[in-house]
């Protein structure tokens, strides 16, 4: 950052910057992926991130409250003011921000958006929200959408899919996930890593299911982690760390392995950390995201053949089969809502069927590239049966040379031909895994 931009960053109002970042989400034109906090001063970046992600996490409830406070809806061109109102409500109801700051600083931020007229509107709404907190909450939380802070279509699907667990899933979606690390055991063992973290005043515990996983008591900047820059650690949820062991079992030295849909590269790196002798091809259709894969592998000192191509076709394939394939399929992300809370606004009910069709095409396109006797691990970060066991059951029905292997594990629960993990507060994300094997005589 130049000295000029540093100077500019220190003058940008953090609440106004957060409001600007939320406008694309509120209008379904963009996400929080790659949220740029560089517009604000360094000490405000954590607050900006907390405001943006927190508002999205509680969006249905906050919007219900806002509708109670506004005499009439704000115009579309004033979505930034709507975002400021949601930010103010989030501070009042969910954060330990003093009331005078939550109200005064938020209302005042309207001037930074060149909308001074809105300061009175915001001031009045937020003061009333503080005064009438119990009454307002009691009124809006009669609606399930506001009570659970989930869109109704998503609540309906969770209820149908998980009649006994849907409330637990919804509650977990509303709490930030813990920061979990993966130890690069090519360079350091987990016990030594835990000792080093403790010596640096960072409280951490070993993950229960992932043998290389560590969960931090408090999230922190990766630059504070001893060994991160040296490639000894990566940030990856515990459930995501379960993919590599399912694939690398019994692979021969130099085995050809494909990581389809590989970006951003966490699982690619984990595969190579476990088995650096693999001939791994990392494939993805998004060139920009492939640059992140290259960056990740570079930091960890790992090598793969990076391939920019669409895995629903086979134009990229040289005809030599792979002994193992990881298909981390694009999905609804309903198992990782707590980490990507803008899903609550951006995802639609109709997306599930569209994604299921894409998942079918990926399975059908990749299967012929798998060698007879080879294995394919199908993974999603979804809790929807339509994207998980139903996809594998349908694939098995139309693919005579495919069969599944039962996953023997102490994590998750059986889900048809695979295994499902549901998101847990202070625990892992929601994931689905299935292991498919191609008949040796195919």
The answer to the question of residue 51 being in a domain is yes
Q: Give the C-alpha separation, 177 to 165, whole Å.
A: 18
Q: Are residues 337 and 430 located together in one domain of the fold?
A: yes
Classify residue 200: in a domain, yes or no. yes
Let me know if residue 149 belongs to a domain.
Answer: no
Could you tell me if 231 and 242 lie in one domain?
no
Q: What is the CATH number of the domain that holds 394?
A: 3.40.50.150
Q: Over 90: is that where the pLDDT of 170 sits?
A: yes
Are 247 and 202 contained in the same domain?
Answer: no
- The answer on 349 and 415 residing in a single domain is yes
Q: With bands split at pLDDT 50, 70 and 90, how would you rate the model's confidence at 9?
A: very low
Q: Is the pLDDT of residue 4 over 50?
A: no
Residue 113 lies in a domain: yes
Residue ending a domain, among 190, 216, 235, is: 235
Let me know whether 387 and 370 are in one domain: yes
**pTM as predicted:** 0.93
Residue 158 in domain: no
Characterize the bridge pairing of strands 413-415 and 402-405: unpaired
Residue 267 annotated in ligand binding? yes
CATH assignment of the domain containing 205: 3.30.70.1170
Residue 77 within any structural domain of the chain? yes
- For the segment 345-364, the average pLDDT, to the nearest whole number, is 98
Return the percentage of the chain with pLDDT > 90, whole number: 93
The yes-or-no verdict on residue 35 having pLDDT over 50 is yes
In 3D space, the residue among 291, 203, 198, 209 whose CA is nearest the CA of residue 244 turns out to be 209
Report whether 207 belongs to an annotated binding site.
Answer: no
Question: Domain end: 202, 235, 268, which one?
Answer: 235
CA distance 104 to 108: 6
333 is in an annotated binding site: no
Is 321 annotated to bind a ligand? Reply is no
Phi/psi for 353 (5° steps) reads -65, -40
Per the annotation, the verdict on 220 as an active-site residue is no
What local confidence, expressed as pLDDT, does residue 126 receive? Answer: 98
In this prediction, residue 320 carries a pLDDT of: 97
Q: Which residues of 343-367 are buried (b: 16+ CB within 10 A; e: fewer)?
A: bbbbbeeebbeebbeebbebbebbb
| Cα–Cα dist 290/194, whole Å | 31
Query: Do 135 and 188 lie in a common domain?
Result: no
Range(s) of the domain holding residue 189: 180-235
Of residues 249 and 338, more confidently modeled: 338
Tokens encoding 22: 């939320």
316: Cα separation from own chain's centroid:
28
Contact 1, 38 (CB under 8 A): yes
C-beta pairs of 190-198 under 8 Å, 24+ apart in sequence: 190/214, 193/227, 193/232, 193/233, 196/226, 196/227, 197/225, 197/226
| Residue 3: per-residue pLDDT | 46
- Quote the pLDDT of residue 442: 60
Residue 12: phi, psi to the nearest 5?
A: -80, 130
Q: Which of 52, 193, 207, 381 is catalytic?
A: 381
Q: How many structural domains are present in the chain?
A: 3
Tell whether 265 is in a known binding site: yes
Domain termination site, one of 235, 261, 282: 235
Q: What is the pLDDT of residues 263-305, one digit of tens each?
A: 999 999 999 999 999 999 999 999 989 999 999 999 999 999 9
Both 309 and 385 in one domain: the answer is: yes
Q: Does any domain span residue 53?
A: yes
Regarding whether 245 and 222 lie in a shared domain, the answer is: no
CATH number at residue 40: 1.10.940.10
**Same domain? 217 vs 92:** no
Flag whether pLDDT at 95 surpasses 80: yes
High-pLDDT (> 70) share of the chain, % = 97
Do 230 and 249 sit in the same domain of this protein? no
Same domain, 86 and 186: no
266 is in an annotated binding site: yes
Does residue 1 carry a pLDDT above 80?
no
Is 284 annotated as contributing to ligand binding? Answer: yes
- Is residue 46 in some structural domain? yes
**Claim to verify: residue 335 and residue 416 sit in the same structural domain:** yes
């Amino acid at each position: 950052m130049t000295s000029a931009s540093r100077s500019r960053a220190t003058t940008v109002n953090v609440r106004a910057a957060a409001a600007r970042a939320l406008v694309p989400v509120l209008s379904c034109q963009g996400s929080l992926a790659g949220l740029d906090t560089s517009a604000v001063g360094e000490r405000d970046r954590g607050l900006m991130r907390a405001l943006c992600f927190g508002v999205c996490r509680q969006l249905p409830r906050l919007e219900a409250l806002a509708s109670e406070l506004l005499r009439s809806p704000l115009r579309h061109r004033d979505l930034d003011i709507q975002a400021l109102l949601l930010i103010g409500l989030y501070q009042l109801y969910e954060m330990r921000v003093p009331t005078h700051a939550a109200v005064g600083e938020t209302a005042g931020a309207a001037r930074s958006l060149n909308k001074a007229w809105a300061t009175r509107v915001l001031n009045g709404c937020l003061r009333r929200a503080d005064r009438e907190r119990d009454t307002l909450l009691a009124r809006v939380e009669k609606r399930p959408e506001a009570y659970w802070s989930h869109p109704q279509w998503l609540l309906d699907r969770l209820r149908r899919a998980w009649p006994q667990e849907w409330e637990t899933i919804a509650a977990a979606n509303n709490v930030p996930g813990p920061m979990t690390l993966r130890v690069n055991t090519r360079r350091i063992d987990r016990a030594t890593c835990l000792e080093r973290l403790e010596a640096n005043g960072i409280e951490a515990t070993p993950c229960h299911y992932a043998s290389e996983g560590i969960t931090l008591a408090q999230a922190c900047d990766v630059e504070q982690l001893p060994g991160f820059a040296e490639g000894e650690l990566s940030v990856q949820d515990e459930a995501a760390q379960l993919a590599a062991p399912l694939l690398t079992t019994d692979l021969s030295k130099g085995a050809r392995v494909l990581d389809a849909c590989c970006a951003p590269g966490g699982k690619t790196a984990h595969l190579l950390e476990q088995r650096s002798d693999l001939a791994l091809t990392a494939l993805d259709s998004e060139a920009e995201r492939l640059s992140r894969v290259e960056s990740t592998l570079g930091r960890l000192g790992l090598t793969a053949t990076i391939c920019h191509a669409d895995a629903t076709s086979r134009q990229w394939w040289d005809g030599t089969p792979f002994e193992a394939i990881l298909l981390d399929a694009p999905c609804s992300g309903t198992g990782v809502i707590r980490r990507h809370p803008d899903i609550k606004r951006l995802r639609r009910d109709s997306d599930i069927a569209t994604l299921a069709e894409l998942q079918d095409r990926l399975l059908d396109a990749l299967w012929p590239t798998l060698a007879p006797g080879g294995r394919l691990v199908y993974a999603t970060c979804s809790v929807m049966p339509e994207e998980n066991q139903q996809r594998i059951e349908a694939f098995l029905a139309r693919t005579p040379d495919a069969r599944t292997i039962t996953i023997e594990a102490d994590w998750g629960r059986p889900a048809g031909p695979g295994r499902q993990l549901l998101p847990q507060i202070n625990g892992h994300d929601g994931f689905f895994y299935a292991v498919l094997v191609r008949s040796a005589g195919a």
